[in-house]
């Protein structure tokens, strides 16, 4: 018999007639505030369970099912969520992790489609190969996350902090990155012929100082008012992109085709290696 107790009061919230919680059926349970830290819940089914404010620090949730689970303000720091399922085709069916703590957590190949992670702390977390399509990270702390080859198509990253993030070879098509912080972020590739995709992404007002965008594909992306100071855009594909009033001080445009790029009132004169067609008007 396993007793699950409240993290603060010690009250018994549930009694599970098992010797282990590996693969346990914990669906639709009231476990808000539960202390599950350090336990092995590999393959457990926690679908639609209430885990608001629960303590899952260092818990193994490898391949666990958490679709529809309520994890607001839960502590999942250092937890192992490799290949866990939290996402769903529709936001109403996905897990909710607003204000959750996931610092240092391993979310490799995790399904987080349409999951809410607003104001969540994912500093130093691993999101490599994760499916984050449509996920909502507004205002989240994603400093130094390792998210190479992640799917962030149509994800909401508005005002998120991705400073120092490893986003190499990721897909951020149509992602919302308005006013996001991407200082020193790596949006390049780990392969000689690879690239990160930012086509149709909205980076208006984003902070990309010192970011690496070598070979990135950012066609039709919106960089209005973005700060690209000292960013490396070598060999980037920017066809149809808008850099209206962007700060390009020290940005490297080596071998970047600028013919179809909107550059009105951007300070191109302070950029490096920018070959601007003579017919471009209103440049600074």
Q: What is the pLDDT of residue 74?
A: 98
Under 8 Å between Cβ of 208 and 232: no
Cα distances from 2 to residues 13, 18, 20, 29, 153, in angstroms, run 11, 6, 8, 15, 41
pLDDT score of 192 more than 90: no
The 3-state DSSP class for residue 233 equals coil
pLDDT score of 283 more than 80: no
pTM attached to this predicted model = 0.94
- pLDDT tens, residue by residue, 109-163: 999 999 999 999 999 999 999 999 999 999 999 999 999 999 999 999 999 999 9
- pLDDT tens, residue by residue, 50-78: 999 999 999 999 999 999 999 999 999 99
**Per-residue tokens: 31:** 């476990």
Instruction: Read off the pLDDT band of 282 (50, 70, 90).
Output: confident
The rounded percent of the chain whose pLDDT value lies above 90 is 95
Q: What is the pLDDT of residue 281?
A: 73
pLDDT score of 284 more than 90: no
Q: Is the dihedral of CA 6, 43, 118, 49 positive or negative?
A: negative
């Amino acid at each position: 018999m396993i007793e699950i107790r409240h993290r603060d009061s010690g009250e018994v919230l549930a009694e599970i007639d098992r010797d282990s919680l590996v693969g346990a059926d914990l669906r639709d349970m009231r476990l808000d505030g539960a202390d599950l830290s350090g336990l092995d819940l590999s393959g457990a089914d926690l679908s639609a369970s209430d885990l608001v404010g629960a303590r899952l620090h260092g818990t193994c949730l490898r391949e666990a099912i958490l679709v529809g689970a309520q994890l607001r303000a839960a502590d999942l720091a250092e937890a192992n969520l490799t290949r866990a399922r939290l996402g769903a085709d529709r936001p109403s069916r996905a897990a909710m992790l607003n204000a959750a703590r996931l610092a240092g957590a391993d979310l490799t190949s995790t399904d987080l489609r349409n999951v809410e992670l607003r104001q969540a702390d994912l500093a130093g977390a691993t999101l490599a190969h994760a499916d984050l399509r449509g996920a909502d990270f507004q205002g989240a702390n994603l400093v130094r996350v390792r998210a190479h080859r992640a799917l962030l198509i149509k994800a909401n990253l508005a005002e998120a902090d991705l400073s120092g993030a490893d986003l190499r070879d990721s897909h951020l098509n149509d992602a919302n990155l308005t006013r996001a912080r991407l200082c020193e972020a790596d949006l390049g590739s780990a392969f000689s012929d690879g690239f990160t995709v930012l086509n149709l992404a909205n980076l208006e007002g984003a902070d990309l100082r010192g970011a690496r965008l070598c070979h990135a594909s950012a066609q039709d992306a919106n960089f209005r008012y973005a700060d690209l100071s000292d960013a490396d855009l070598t060999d980037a594909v920017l066809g149809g992109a808008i850099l209206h009033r962007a700060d390009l001080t020290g940005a490297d445009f080596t071998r970047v085709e600028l013919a179809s790029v909107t550059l009105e009132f951007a300070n191109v004169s302070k950029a490096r290696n920018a070959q601007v067609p003579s017919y471009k008007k209103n440049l600074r």
